[in-house]
Amino acid sequence: METKIIDILNSILLSKNKEIITDLEEKVSLRNDLGFDSLDLATLSVRIEDEFGIDIFEEKIIDKISELLTILHNNEEFLGRSK
């Protein structure tokens, strides 16, 4: 799962000519540390949904990698698909 998330984050970072990441640090802020704007976050949410079947912003807007991972881990649909 983590590799796929890194790939998705890097595809957005590359489209903005920004340095890619090699691992997921929980404290990292999507907005402040990775420099994602609202359209980047929208792109992130559709790519995550396409991959894992989860709309990460359906309940609220999240910002930290830790929040992203929590949503993915807690989602039963994801757990079912990852078996």
Partner 1 sequence: MKTTLITGVSRGLGAEIAEQVINKNDAFVIGISRTFSDEVKCLAEKYPDNFMHIAFDLSDYENLKNIYWNTLKKIGQIESVIHNAAYAYDDLVSNANIQTLEYMYKVNVLSPIILTKYSIRDMLLNNIKGSIVFVTSISAHKGFKGLSMYASTKGALEAFSKNVAKEWGAKGIRSNCVCPGFMETEMSSNISSEMKMKIFNRTSLKKATDIKSVASSVAFLTSDESNSITGQTIIVDCGTI
Q: Which two tokens stand for residue 69?
A: 């991972």
Distance of closest approach, residue 44 Cβ to partner 1, in angstroms: 10
Q: Which two tokens stand for residue 12?
A: 């957005």
Question: Which one among 43, 63, 66, 69 touches partner 1, defined by CB under 8 A?
Answer: 43
Distance of closest approach, residue 26 Cβ to partner 1, in angstroms: 26
Question: Which one among 1, 42, 61, 79 touches partner 1, defined by CB under 8 A?
Answer: 42
Contact in structure between 29 and 5 (CB atoms under 8 Å): no
Q: Which is nearer to partner 1, 23 or 58 (CB)?
A: 58
Q: How many helices (H) and strands (E) does the chain have?
A: 4, 0
